[in-house]
Amino acid sequence: MSACELGKVMDLIEAFKKAAELLKSNLILFLPPLILAYLVPAALALAGLYIFAPVLIAAANSPAPLTVFGLGLLIAGLWIVVLALLAYAYVLAGWAGMNKHATMTGETTFNDFWSGTKAYFGRMLGAIIVLAVIYIVLFVLGVAATFAVFLPLVTRFIPPGIVPGGFPLFPGGMPGISQIVAAVGNTIGVWLIVLTVAGLVFLFTVFWVQSAALDNVGPLGALSRSISFVKNNFKTTLGIAALYTIATAFTGQIFPGGGGGGGAGGGNGAFSFTMIIPAPLEAIFRLLITTFFMLYMFVIYADKTGKTLASKTSPETARRTRKTARSAR
């Protein structure tokens, strides 16, 4: 391992320690992910109930119930998606504000959540929409390519008299095994390309939340700076991805099937890390991983971009400073 690579590993370790120290001093950082995991879904479920109920009533009293129900279902679904998008962006903005304050000053309060929602909501919403459009375009391209690959095979099963006028006819007869294998292989190749591009988009824009908050830039600027950051710190980014993968995989091993029990031995005598631990403890582990890695990425981004991080004693120093100020007044 070269000196440069060793230095990057040490930077990851130091940032890991720093994030752990900050999280231990600011347990309130667990609140936003809790809101996202439990309060937001509950609120969306309640909103869905009130949105879908009128649709059912209107369909039941309509002469064309299926048409009304289908149209209403589409409109109601779109409303739920919009509400979910707004709620997620709002909480994420507040969470970013709290992480920024903890990273830069060593301490955060729930007031930083409200400040974050005011400062970063528009940026978070804009970046989420841009990323959603990119992923949707990739998905549509994949579906279109799959359709183009299988269309010649499907049309072989359509009788010539049924094919609409002007539609290009294909030679009749059952497709050969080689053609089917080629179509399947091409489809797998298409989706492999789509998933690879989507994965690269995710990897290079993974620091957009940190950039939006710490660099104080808009959604496009945050995405652009995240791409530049990952290019300049590619091995560091892969190291974070590896740590996150290890943490989530380990959690999946000790909580198989969503936190149920299991035996101590796997199939063919292979050892398994399965433990009989209740599902609530799995939720705690996943909450810890999510909260920690969000803060961890803030610490790394701030450090690599030359921002001044909170000192190790900053939370205690800040408390003493406030106490002194109160005594003086």
Q: Is the pTM of this model over 0.85?
A: no
Find the mean pLDDT for residues 62-83: 90
DSSP 3-state of 265: strand
Reply yes or no on whether the pLDDT at 299 is more than 90.
yes
Q: What pLDDT is attached to residue 264?
A: 39
**Residue boundaries of the structural domains of the chain:** 3-160+173-264+271-315
Of 43-47, 215-219, 278-282, give the lowest mean pLDDT range: 278-282
| Residue 117: closest CA among 138, 143, 151, 92 | 92
Reply yes or no on whether the pLDDT at 171 is more than 90.
no
Q: What pLDDT is attached to residue 312?
A: 54
Find the mean pLDDT for residues 163-175: 52
Output the furthest CA–CA distance in the chain (Å, rounded).
94
Provide the H-helix boundaries in 106-159.
Answer: 110-155
Distance CA 286, CA 265 (A): 24
For residue 121, the tally of other CB atoms under 10 A from its CB is 19
Find the mean pLDDT for residues 99-119: 94
